[in-house]
Homo-oligomer: A and B are copies of this chain.
Amino acid sequence: MSIRVYYEDTDAGGIVFYANYLKFFERARTEWLRELGFEQDKLMEQSLGFVVKRVEMHNHAPARFNELLRIRTELVHCKGASLLFKQIIIGSQDNTVADAEIRVASVNVNTLKPTRVPADILGEMKRVD
């Protein structure tokens, strides 16, 4: 997945504001899920949502205005209501901009309580692994 760095993503330091990498990671997880065949607006109608429980992010090098970034998303582990992703942002010089381990819980969107990842989604996730 490619992401262009626009003005909105940068700050007065001239580089991407660190919180915005979490936006990029979220976009990439959404596209990853879409490629598996699941649209999150449809899942929400079935009361299924995802919330991030833990982030460990390392920022290796700044990304700059107008740079074209690539993001790799890998599901490391999935059990019950818990998903563990590894994600990497790669800069236009093939350098690692940031990498992260992100733990996500699948929840009922109304109660925000954990709920098992449905079997069809789990099946697709395991298939691509």
Residues in chain A within 8 A of chain B (CB atoms): 4, 6-8, 10-15, 17-20, 22-23, 26-27, 30, 39-41, 44, 49, 51-59, 62, 64-67, 109, 112
Contacts and interface: CB of A to CB of B under 8 A. Distances in A.
B23 A19 contact: yes
Contacts of A52: 18, 59
Contacts of A19: 8, 19-20, 22-23, 26
B59 A53 contact: yes
Nearest to A52: B18
B8 A17 contact: yes
Interface SS of A by simple majority: mixed
Q: Which 9 A-B pairs have the closest CB atoms?
A: A19-B22, A41-B66, A10-B12, A12-B65, A18-B52, A7-B11, A55-B57, A19-B19, A8-B23
Contact of A58 (B18, B20, B53): B53
A54 B57 contact: yes
